[in-house]
Amino acid sequence: MYSVKVKSNPNLDEALQQYEIDFKEDHIFLNNEIYTWDMIRVKENSFHILKDNLSYRAEIIKIDFEQKQFEVKVNGKKFEVALQDKFDILLEKLGMNSMASAALKEIKAPMPGLILDIRVNEGDEVQKGDVVMILEAMKMENVIKSPGDGIVKSVMVDRGDSVEKNNVLIEF
């Protein structure tokens, strides 16, 4: 299942629409209803779509795979699209998506677990997305990445430490 947010006017939040998309067998479900359409690729990133006897020209203008955000143009009108897959939805439900939105002052444990590896030291400069730590939780290794750029002020845990959710791991 995917959650898709579509903004038809980048300057207005009230223009935001949200959809749930799921793929079952040979069908696409949009908000739990079967969605049928005919789509033909015209050229790279450009498509012709027929839906309910109406014709649409769609073009993918910009793709940010890391952030799962897209900019598309349908019949000349631009839309911003943000996609969440089932893992993003689960992380949001667990409250683990908030790490990226906070100012880079500290990194907290997203869940209880055991520190397996620490990849940074005090004084190290980190970039957004750099692996800083490995946390074992629920018998899985979870890679903790830096949510932004910064310089490590202090590492608050050691390898082998047990941590609880929201324990401070690293300060910047």
Mean pLDDT of 106-111: 91
Containing structural domain, residue 128: 99-171
Say what the pLDDT of residue 147 is. Answer: 87
Is 100 a residue whose pLDDT tops 80? no
Render pLDDT for 22-40 as a digit per residue (tens, 0 to 9).
888 878 899 999 988 899 9
Is 132 a residue whose pLDDT tops 60? yes
Scanning 53-167, the segments in alpha helix (DSSP H) are: 86-94
Is 136 a residue whose pLDDT tops 60? yes
Statement to judge: residues 104 and 83 lie in one domain: no
Mean pLDDT of 62-71: 86
Say what the pLDDT of residue 14 is. Answer: 56
Say what the pLDDT of residue 102 is. Answer: 47
Q: Give the whole-number percent of the chain exceeding pLDDT 90.
A: 51
Report d(CA 140, CA 118) in Å as an integer.
Answer: 16
Say what the pLDDT of residue 98 is. Answer: 54
Q: Which of 87, 110, 129 is the last residue of a domain?
A: 87
Assigned token pair, 107: 């990194």
Phi (first) and psi of residue 168, to 5 degrees? -70, 125
Is 56 a residue whose pLDDT tops 60? yes
Residue 93 inside a domain? The answer is no
In angstroms, what CA-CA distances link 90 with 41, 83, 87, 96, 142? Answer: 33, 13, 5, 9, 14
Confidence of residue 11 (pLDDT cuts 50, 70, 90): low
Q: Which of 87, 121, 138 is the last residue of a domain?
A: 87
Statement to judge: residues 82 and 104 lie in one domain: no
Statement to judge: residues 52 and 110 lie in one domain: no
- Our count of domains for the chain comes to 2
Say what the pLDDT of residue 26 is. Answer: 79
Query: Is the CB of residue 110 less than 8 Å from the CB of residue 94?
Result: yes
Residue 94 inside a domain? The answer is no
Report the CATH number that the domain containing residue 137 is assigned in CATH. Answer: 2.40.50.100
Confidence of residue 8 (pLDDT cuts 50, 70, 90): confident
Q: Give the whole-number percent of the chain exceeding pLDDT 70.
A: 91
